[in-house]
Amino acid sequence: MPLALFWFLAAVALISALGVVLQRNPVHCLLALIVTLLTIAVLFIGEDAIVVGFLQAIVYGGAIMVLFLFVIWLLNLRAEVGPTGHLALKFFGTIAVAAMAAELMSFVVPPHLQVKFAGHAAGYGSIDSLAQKLFSEYLVAFEVTSLLLLVAVVGAVALARRISASELAERAAAIAAQKVR
Amino acid sequence: MAPLPYLMALSAAIFAIGVLGFLTRRNILVMFMSVELMLNAVNLAFISLGSRLGTMDGQVIVFFVMTVAAAEAAVGLAIIISVFRGRETVHADDLTMLRW
Amino acid sequence: MIELIVGAVEAVLMIMVGLHLAIFLLYFERKGSALIQDRVGANRASFTGLGRRLGLPNLGIINTLIADPIKLFTKEDFVPEGADHFLHALAPFVALFPVLITFVVIPFGDTITLGGRTFGLQATNLNAGALYLLATIGIGVYGVALGGWASNNRWALLGGIRATAQMISYEIAMGLAIIAVIMTYGSLDLQEMVRMQGGVWFGWLPRWGIFVQPLAFILLLTAGIAESKRVPFDLPEGEAELILGYMIEYSGGKQAAFMLTDLAEQALIAMLLVTFFFGGWQVPWLYRDGFHLPGGAVLALGPLLVSIAGIVAFLIKVVIVCLFMGLIRWTLPRFRYDQLMRLGWKILVPLGLVNILITAFIVVVAGGAH
């Protein structure tokens, strides 16, 4: 992608990422996160990872963030008023994070990480090549991930369901019986 | 194709911002969103390195990271809802007792 | 460079076509519904009154297309007390934007040769056009969600929650239907899919998608109407129960944007149905050099005429499907919320999965995409 476009996208991503951590209203944080995720999806597409870029928009932007939004509604979270957390934590946290960022960049930016780039093969990033890799080399991981999704769905429903009054009474009775013993 | 150092620097910067959010904010949902930021920064690094090396491995790994992040978000949010039902708060400093 | 300019012009053209279709649907809402319900409809507004004096029937064009927009855009823009001003202003345009940008991947013609250069008649030729569709339809949830939340009104919030739940449920059914179509044609590119719907079977039956995937057609029709929140799935804007659902606290231009989203999304679903199932811009028995009628007659046509015939055919098909969806709208009563959720999750999703299984079996057994 042209360099100017990259700078624009990088600026948008950084500003919205800062917006996520600095805003007081959780819904505004969520909107900033959505902008960040979509910008990263566009960066993926610019790197010829077309299918994964669109998948990022579909999965993250279209599904996970809606889940977050529903939870914010359910818990009826309002904008935070007053000081949010300890001043000492914020001060030392910022210094520590700045040091970590400096160290990370000193590791990834200098030329020893340069890789000779020879251009991509014809089907790079297409759904054919992704499927080839997924269903041959990474087949076990694929199947295990689908099992993991099933377990996550069942677990989420089990965790978040409302316990009926009769079941609460049952549990209280069981605890009382244990204590007596 | 953007130059690799800039992409990696962007990834490191977004990761650092995610860590900052996780450390400084005390609202559990915003902490969760910072975790998602960190995951996405790492995804960006995987994709750009995989693209430079010309292999599809980076994209496959990002595919799996995305899927696992979706599962983790579902379970994590269910836990937050459960906790909120009991304690009526999402401020991390108030969630100090496991059981009484 | 010139491809960029042509692409931009085509993109603007497609978005204009989408918006004009939406306005045509708005006219159909007033006068077409009147025709179906055996009443007169809007027929009062007129500039000079000459038509009425001459005894001509008033078609209601000035009423719906001039007076209504003027009314909508000159109304006071009211933000309720305690509402989040930023989100309240942002929501209608976050709702409208994904619908409009989806129009650019829909192919409306084969290629056209002007002045010696050949241009493809699709604003952007994405290899993964179908994935782009799913992505933008997924993003379209946020406008409704934010509109309901930002209004500081519990009926708006209820409408917003119901609308969001409905949209994400039927997105899954839509995705499954689109996956079956992708498997049949073996490509994610929409222009490729339409190209493969040329030709005939048995010498006379055009190779349209609906003969290959009838179940996917029904799934996409139902899920599409539910996704665009039209009757019978318009519970989020249930006029008898929630007044206007998530749009209660909106007036003036913002309400116009929400209404336009509804209608433009209906036009978009119609275009998708035409592209996947009715051959897109393919005219039956028309090939690049002319008509090859069953029976053996060949009618030669110039290439420019063939391209224009394709564009006109596409528009006619889209208008027919839009009118069909309008017919459904004015005939069926609204679904209840639990009926809606049951239909989406317990009926459409299993049907979609069964469809994918059958399609996969046929594709593997018949050897490659057909």
Q: Are the beta carbons of C128 and A51 separated by less than 8 Å?
A: yes
Q: Does the reported pTM lie above 0.95? A: no
Tell me the count of A-B CB pairs closer than 8 A.
Answer: 241
Does C369 score more than 50 pLDDT?
no
Q: Are the beta carbons of B90 and A75 separated by less than 8 Å?
A: yes
Q: Are the beta carbons of B33 and A14 separated by less than 8 Å?
A: no
Q: Flag whether C touches B (3+ CB pairs, 8 A cutoff).
A: no
Question: H helices within chain A, ranges in order?
Answer: 3-22, 26-46, 50-56, 65-75, 87-108, 127-136, 139-160, 165-180
Q: What is the mean pLDDT of chain A?
A: 88
Measured CA distances, C155 to A177, B36, C165, C320 (Å):
46, 32, 15, 36
Sort out which chain A residues have CB atoms less than 8 A from C146's CB and list them.
27, 31
In a 3-state reduction of DSSP, which class is residue C56? Answer: coil
- What span, in angstroms and rounded, lies between the C-alpha atoms of C95 and C145? 9
- Per-residue pLDDT tens for C50-83? 777 777 777 777 777 788 888 888 888 888 888 8
One-letter identity of residue C102: T
Tokens 């994610």 -> residue: C188
Sort out which chain B residues have CB atoms less than 8 A from A155's CB and list them.
75, 78
Tell me the residue length of chain A: 181
Q: Are the beta carbons of A50 and C149 separated by less than 8 Å?
A: no
Q: Which residues contact C15 (CB under 8 A, 6 or more apart)?
A: C100, C101, C103, C104
> Which residue of A35, A75, A146 is the best one to mutate when testing the B interface, meaning the one whose CB has the most B CBs within 10 A?
A75
* pLDDT number for residue C207: 85
Q: Does B86 touch chain A (CB under 8 A)?
A: no
Closest-CA distance of chain A to residue B97, Å = 18
List the single residue in A44, A114, A157 with the smallest CB-CB distance to B47.
A44
Q: Does A132 touch chain B (CB under 8 A)?
A: yes
Q: Are the beta carbons of A109 and B43 separated by less than 8 Å?
A: no
Sort out which chain A residues have CB atoms less than 8 A from B82's CB and list them.
159-160
Paired residues of B27 in beta bridges: B91
> Which residue of A37, A40, A80 is the best one to mutate when testing the B interface, meaning the one whose CB has the most B CBs within 10 A?
A40
CB atoms within 10 A of CB C46: 16
- Per-residue pLDDT tens for C87-136? 888 899 999 999 998 988 888 887 777 766 666 667 677 778 899 999 99
Q: Does A17 touch chain B (CB under 8 A)?
A: yes
Q: Does C45 touch chain A (CB under 8 A)?
A: no
Closest-CA distance of chain C to residue A73, Å = 8
- Per-residue pLDDT tens for C283-316? 888 877 777 777 777 777 777 888 888 889 999 9
Question: Measured between alpha carbons, how far apart are the two ends of chain B, in Å?
Answer: 57
Closest-CA distance of chain A to residue C72, Å = 28
Of C184-198, C230-244, C326-340, where does mean pLDDT reach its minimum? C230-244
ipTM: 0.92
List the single residue in A27, A28, A54 with the smallest CB-CB distance to C131.
A54
Does C368 score more than 60 pLDDT?
no
Q: Does A87 touch chain B (CB under 8 A)?
A: no
Output the tens digit of pLDDT for each of chain A's 181 residues: 678 899 999 999 999 999 999 988 899 999 999 999 999 999 999 888 889 999 999 999 889 999 999 998 888 887 777 667 788 888 998 999 999 999 988 888 776 666 667 677 777 878 888 998 899 999 999 999 999 999 999 999 998 888 888 888 888 888 888 887 6
> What is the band of C27 on the pLDDT scale with cuts at 50, 70, 90?
confident
- Picking from A14, A21, A67, A59, the residue whose alpha carbon sits closest to that of residue A39 is A14
- Per-residue pLDDT tens for C125-146? 777 889 999 999 999 899 888 8
- What span, in angstroms and rounded, lies between the C-alpha atoms of A147 and A142? 9
